[in-house]
Structure 1
Amino acid sequence: MRGGKSAKWVVGAIVVAMAATACGGNDSKSDGKGGAAFRLGITEPVSIDPVNAQESEGTLVARNLFTGLYDVNLDGTLKPKLAVSGTPNDKGDEWTFEIKKDTKFSNGEPVNAEAFIRGWTRAAAKSSASDVAYHMNGIDGFKDLNTGKSDKFSGLTAAGEYTLKVKLSAPDFEFNKKTAHSVFSPMPKVAGAGDNKTFNDAPIGNGPFKMDGSWQHNQKINLVRNDDYGLDKAKLSRVEISILNPSSSSNLEYKGFESGQFDWARMPTPQLPVAKAKYDGQGEWLKLDSSGVNYLLLFTTESQMKSADARKAVSYAIDRAEIAKGVYQGLQEPATSLLPPTFKDVYKPDVCSSCVKQDKAKAKEYADKAGLKPGDTLDFGYNTGAGHEEWVQAVAKQVEDVLGLKVKLNGLPFKEALAKQQEKGTNGIWRAAWSADYPTADNFLSPLLSTSGINPDASGKALGDNRGRYSNPKFDEMLVKARETKDPAERAKIYQDAEKLAIDEDQALIPLWKRTQYRLANTKKYDGVKMDFFEDPNLAEISPK
């Protein structure tokens, strides 16, 4: 998820902390209804409207404002929400979803099949310019709608008020899993077009929470419980989200937790051992081996990383174990594959040969084959204010020491970093991380590595999540074959072969570390506080003590 992590792009390599807009705190801040407000901090999102919610910060808000067909359990299984059932035909190119009756948006509009068609059409429309609409590109008629040739989504029909039929352009026996992404949210009529700024800043949803006023950009977003929610109602009456300065000191979110300003905190890398020692014994330290990966994004169409040999040279030059032990103090493990261990049906260790162990001789051998010479400059981009500086500098030094390259560090705030990655002509390597939005290998392989995941506009800007612009027709064909394979075991084998091609043979990305996540949570005031599948606090399930 941008994700993603999109599956979504995520701000932090492990975890992220930024400077608060106000220091200090108040343990007893009231929600105005006699209860405490649950407080946390994020950076400025790209969007909180599902039409374009794309990174970890925006999707946190969108998922609490809207409820779709499915959610995802921590173990990666689907959790039905508004889907009473989801059934494919024998070929796998048509799905029928029966929708829970008699739920509504917070303005009273009904949530039915037409509401889902409205929401999906809105996101896919050309005028929305959505960076996450590509998750729908398997639905028949997506291309015509997304390019402006049509204003209708031909693959979507309502076969009754609460029956949604989805015709796909090609078979996909895992399509139901994709609908757990927030872009598949239903929409009320009042939403209008995707570029409706009034709605973008104050979305009216059908989720466990609703907006309290509008998004105050670079300041705050406040949520209150939706008492008309059609499923299990939230126990918190209010959530206060501070929007923090991404360029400030990366330890102030942690300090905000210590001072009582926040009830949930992410931490900069150097503070992890200290925080664990202080809070683990108090039950306020949370750990999750999440469905994600930290990696280096490689711009494969530009000169520096155009050849697989150049990309392998950089990968072999990195000593992941040393950085995991030194910078991360043993709290992270090296990754040798793109797909995470939590995806037990497809995960295989050591898929990436160049990731298993630093090999200086091979690094130099591949550099020679690629024409990389000592003294050449390698651009290395990363997002600032998120605790990445230590490991980025360590990787840069290893590459310089082994290959003799001059590594130029280019740090930008997260929002600007994402925009820079989209530009045609961006060169070198970039810090990246991906966290799953739905539990399938396709959620990693397709967005990050398929040709369709580039989704360039007329200017060449990459609107999809394949920012490195890797393209291999054989890889694309393997993804198509996997989707149309009904047997789960056979499908998993095809995905494994596709990962091997892209990550080992072509070195399209460089895996670095698994995504073990750590958080601090105020369990003295709240019960049931956990990280969910998306690495976010499970706001709808938290209850005051």
Structure 2
Amino acid sequence: MKHTPKLALAALLSGTFLSGAALAAGTHPETGEQLADDQTFTYRVLDELSSLDPQIVEDVIGSEFARDLFEGLMSQDEDGNLVPGVATDYDVSDDKLTYTFHLRPEAVWSNGDPVTASDFVFAWRRAADPETASPYQWYMGLMSIANGEEVIAGDLPPEELGVRAVDDHTFEVTLSSPLPYFPQMTTHATTFPAPQAVIEEHGKEWTRPENIVSNGAYVLEEHLPNERSTRVRNEMYWDNENTILDKVVTLVINDENVALTRYMAGELDRTEVPAGQFPRLKEEYPDEAISFPRLCNYYYTFNLSDSGPEAFKDVNVRKALALAVDRKIITENIMAGGQPEAYTFTPEAVAGFTPPTVEMAEMTQAERDEMARELLAEAGYGPDNPLSFDMVYNTSEAHQKVAVALSQMWKQKLGAEVELANMEWKVFLEERGNQNFELARGAWCGDYNEASTFLDLLDSDSGYNDGKYSNEEYDALLEKAKTAGDTTDLYTSAEQILAADMPVIPIYHYAGVYMLDSDVGNWPVNNVEQNWYSKNLYKIAE
């Protein structure tokens, strides 16, 4: 049996009393910094979140809420390392097929009820159950849980999922095959516990502020859709004594420039830098304008389903459009925030991943443009028969700038006629998920720090394979990678297949480009996943 060290846990627990004394004195227990009297963190988001339900949420914004309101088996520190959550530690069987998580007895829900292994059993079964219609149902399949695929397909009842409560504080998971990064996957919102009695009582209304019961460091005080939300400290949280921030306020501001103005007026502690403005802001506010690598990609996906345009069934058309994109103009002139150009789907920031060399990346832009014209001509498109299609993106000034630039590049270089349309976030997700598009913006932030979190997205059976790309050889490589000791060659081959088939157009890989008030302490710039937890932040006295 492999057992996780308990020394780190002991250190965490022994620091509790020291921290409480330091906080009472108004100083940070570790850094000694003077703490602000008002411990409120206010930040801006672009869109209304998809859901507050951990088994339903499917976007980055909603996941930020979920990590505050709920706590899973494991969490992350500011460097992205696994740390105890509800589970103090876990055992792994010699065959790597059974994980046994030991839950802390002091963990309770915000209504005072104990958090038990049964709450995790209920949540994991709920996520896999087809009746729940979780957008992340497929994630439970990726976790290689015994009978997971059969439950997801509806061939077995949820009760047959390989999870069980040994007792109130022992949660056991049986896998169908070893998965080296399984523990990392338990930091994702889909795996967070859920209060069965509350959900059964209130149904879909259970996440309303007056109904919700949660087990994280914060509780939901208010939620005004498309306007603002407030989370306040959960006095019942097991580590509340070491939580410093009292309140977290989220404001929905659809316009990046309006958000920047409000930041400059002191209304926000954090906001995204509008496209193209980072160089100026970094010069004027060197302590507040920050940029760092993110575990996210930005791409456009072709609709390759039966409802997609016939033109996109031709790989030469897809390649021509991808080749004609001048990524340097987008990353340096439009975004200008340190985003690297993307010629592979998986970002270089992924742990243990080295992007393979693909032909497109080795060419000059002039060479790419020439090849693009040749390929499009071979596909039968030209001045007398121009390629035409629609492309959609979710409402955002930055997304609009990128979309306009792409359409102009394709018009000038290839004579393509492109119709642009933007949609509100939830509508966009629904339309894209139902293949009601021709070419659509896509972006993905890793659910865990391993290349499969990106490559699995284009697996034939992936719930987020919105373009319905399918390649049996690609699927087989990903399946083999799940149990391989060394995945390097497998992931290289997978990326090379994507470069040959071009089901998506990689544009750039993300950077975290923020205006962050200098009085915000401990923002996790070294965590490329950007899984931040408000309980780890604090406000410094000015």
Compute the TM-score of the two structures, normalised by the length of structure 2: 0.84
- Aligned match of 1:306: 313
1:427-469 deviation line (CA, Å, top 9, x unaligned): 2x222221112111111111x201120xxxxxxxxxx211111
- Aligned match of 2:44: 41
Q: C-alpha displacement at 1:171, in angstroms? A: 3.7
- Aligned match of 2:511: 516
Q: Is the contact between residue 435 and residue 466 of structure 2 (CA under 8 Å) also seen in structure 1?
A: no
Whole-angstrom distance in 2 between the partners of 1:79 and 1:60 = 17
Q: C-alpha displacement at 1:104, in angstroms? A: 1.4
Work out which of the residue numbers 297, 301, 311 in structure 1 matches 2:301: 297
Question: What secondary structure sits across from 1:361 in the alignment?
Answer: helix
Q: C-alpha displacement at 1:87, in angstroms? A: 4.4
- Aligned match of 1:379: 390
Whole-angstrom distance in 2 between the partners of 1:191 and 1:122 = 14
Q: C-alpha displacement at 1:152, in angstroms? A: 1.8
Question: What secondary structure sits across from 1:444 in the alignment?
Answer: helix
Moved over 6 A (4+): none
- Aligned match of 1:260: 266
Whole-angstrom distance in 2 between the partners of 1:356 and 1:109 = 61
Work out which of the residue numbers 162, 165, 175 in structure 1 matches 2:182: 175
Whole-angstrom distance in 2 between the partners of 1:471 and 1:252 = 42
Work out which of the residue numbers 218, 237, 240 in structure 1 matches 2:226: 218
Compute the TM-score of the two structures, normalised by the length of structure 1: 0.83
Mapping of 1:193-232 within 5 angstroms?
196-202=203-209, 203-213=212-222, 215-231=223-239
Q: Is the contact between residue 38 and residue 236 of structure 1 (CA under 8 Å) also seen in structure 2?
A: yes
Work out which of the residue numbers 418, 427, 432 in structure 2 matches 1:407: 418
Mapping of 1:138-537 within 5 angstroms?
138-147=144-153, 150-192=157-199, 196-202=203-209, 203-213=212-222, 215-231=223-239, 233-244=242-253, 246=254, 249-280=255-286, 283-301=287-305, 302=308, 303-329=310-336, 331-351=338-358, 353=360, 357-358=364-365, 359-374=368-383, 375-427=386-438, 429-446=439-456, 448-453=457-462, 464-485=463-484, 487=485, 490-501=486-497, 503-524=498-519, 526-531=520-525, 532-535=527-530
Whole-angstrom distance in 2 between the partners of 1:499 and 1:121 = 33
Q: Is the contact between residue 303 and residue 435 of structure 2 (CA under 8 Å) also seen in structure 1?
A: no
Q: Cα 1:76–1:347, aligned 2, differ >3 Å: closer, same or farther?
A: farther
1:56-108 deviation line (CA, Å, top 9, x unaligned): 11111111111112234555543332333344445544333333333111112
- Aligned match of 2:106: 102
The answer to which of 95-104 and 472-481 deviates more is 95-104
Calculate percent identity across the aligned residue pairs.
26
Q: C-alpha displacement at 1:257, in angstroms? A: 0.4
- Aligned match of 1:5: none
1:484-515 deviation line (CA, Å, top 9, x unaligned): 12x2xx123322322222x2122122211121
Q: Is the contact between residue 298 and residue 430 of structure 1 (CA under 8 Å) also seen in structure 2?
A: yes
The answer to which of 436-445 and 122-131 deviates more is 122-131
Q: Is the contact between residue 123 and residue 194 of structure 1 (CA under 8 Å) also seen in structure 2?
A: no
Question: What secondary structure sits across from 1:265 in the alignment?
Answer: strand
- Aligned match of 1:541: 536
Q: Is the contact between residue 126 and residue 158 of structure 2 (CA under 8 Å) also seen in structure 1?
A: no
Q: Quick check: which one's helix share is greater?
A: 2
- Aligned match of 1:80: 84
Q: Is the contact between residue 71 and residue 85 of structure 2 (CA under 8 Å) also seen in structure 1?
A: yes
Greater C-alpha Rg: 2
Q: Which runs of 5+ in 1 are unaligned?
A: 1-32, 454-463
| Structure number with higher relative contact order (C-alpha < 8 Å, ≥ 6 residues apart) | 1
Q: Cα 1:369–1:231, aligned 2, differ >3 Å: closer, same or farther?
A: farther
The answer to which of 435-444 and 170-179 deviates more is 170-179
Whole-angstrom distance in 2 between the partners of 1:493 and 1:76 = 25
Q: Is the contact between residue 226 and residue 234 of structure 1 (CA under 8 Å) also seen in structure 2?
A: no
Q: Is the contact between residue 318 and residue 395 of structure 1 (CA under 8 Å) also seen in structure 2?
A: yes
Question: What secondary structure sits across from 1:186 in the alignment?
Answer: coil
Q: Cα 1:53–1:235, aligned 2, differ >3 Å: closer, same or farther?
A: same
Q: Is the contact between residue 276 and residue 333 of structure 2 (CA under 8 Å) also seen in structure 1?
A: no
Whole-angstrom distance in 1 between the partners of 2:169 and 2:337 = 51
Whole-angstrom distance in 1 between the partners of 2:359 and 2:41 = 42
Question: What secondary structure sits across from 1:85 in the alignment?
Answer: strand
Q: Is the contact between residue 268 and residue 387 of structure 1 (CA under 8 Å) also seen in structure 2?
A: yes
Whole-angstrom distance in 1 between the partners of 2:435 and 2:334 = 33
Q: Cα 1:433–1:236, aligned 2, differ >3 Å: closer, same or farther?
A: same
Q: Cα 1:154–1:514, aligned 2, differ >3 Å: closer, same or farther?
A: closer
CA RMSD of aligned residues (A): 2.5
Q: Cα 1:492–1:179, aligned 2, differ >3 Å: closer, same or farther?
A: farther
Q: C-alpha displacement at 1:407, in angstroms? A: 1.2
1:168-224 deviation line (CA, Å, top 9, x unaligned): 3444232222222110001223342598222233432211111114x2222221100
Question: What secondary structure sits across from 1:304 in the alignment?
Answer: helix
Q: Cα 1:71–1:386, aligned 2, differ >3 Å: closer, same or farther?
A: farther
1:46-65 deviation line (CA, Å, top 9, x unaligned): 10211111111111111111
Whole-angstrom distance in 2 between the partners of 1:354 and 1:193 = 53
Q: Cα 1:383–1:329, aligned 2, differ >3 Å: closer, same or farther?
A: same
Question: What secondary structure sits across from 1:382 in the alignment?
Answer: strand
